[in-house]
Amino acid sequence: MIPLQAQLPDGGWMYVVSIVTVSLYVSLTAVGLSTLFSLPVALGIGFTDFRGKRLVTAVVNTGMGFPSVVVGLVVLILLSNSGPLGSLDLAFTPRAMILSQFILATPVLLSVSLSAVEGVDQSVRDAAYAMGGTRVDVGLAVIKEARFGIVTAILAGFGRAISEVGSILIVGGNIVYSDGQSYTRTLTTAITVEARQGRYEVGLVLGVILLALVLAVNGLGSWLRNQGRGERSV
């Protein structure tokens, strides 16, 4: 049996470290940007009664099932040399992967955050208004009350992003430098490559790392939900 060290591509264990680093950088950045976008939108939708609100909510929920390869293809077309954003020279870069993951994570974050915001009792808003609070103050009060649901939304968005493969393979190109360091190769795309090349043990190691990250996120989400139930029961 060939030792695992000998099966690793050029760069050895630094190859694995660089893949994990790129994966975390892209996913965390995408989810961070998605959070900054999703929370104000969720508050706006949750606070406002307008014609077509149910349709907007349905569209948001439908977005959770966006085919990732379609999203990747659309993003690549936009960023290609002949596309409307081609002058930005973002194709096959980590920034293109961040954009793709942002699009995929946002419906998840927005949908779960919206449910958390709408689940806050009306009395919380009324009390904030009665104390002379502005819309910003009321929004902060609602966010505080819905914080556990919002954190769960963020963790769900991260889980969606870190496990993505189709779109980032299209827009990122799965690029590795000649010294074995990753430029746009992530855990998911690396597993695909290693399996195709017959380096199953390397693929399994990467799979275990990815699984550990996902389980850690899910474990943190469960812990936060339990904390929320505990505080409410006091």
pLDDT of residue 38: 92
pLDDT of residue 23: 94
Give CA–CA dist 183/90, Å, rounded: 13
| pLDDT one-digit tens code per residue, 186-212 | 999 999 988 888 888 888 889 999 999
State the pLDDT confidence band at 230, using cuts at 50, 70 and 90: low
Decide if pLDDT at 76 tops 90.
Answer: yes
Is-contact 214 162, C-beta < 8 A? Answer: yes
Decide if pLDDT at 175 tops 80.
Answer: yes
The pTM (predicted TM-score) of the whole model is: 0.86
Give CA–CA dist 30/97, Å, rounded: 8
Percent of residues, the chain, with pLDDT higher than 90: 38
Q: Enumerate residues 6+ apart whose C-beta is below 8 A from 106.
A: 34, 37, 38, 63, 157
Is-contact 64 132, C-beta < 8 A? Answer: no
- DSSP class of residue 83 equals S
Decide if pLDDT at 221 tops 80.
Answer: no
State the pLDDT confidence band at 20, using cuts at 50, 70 and 90: very high
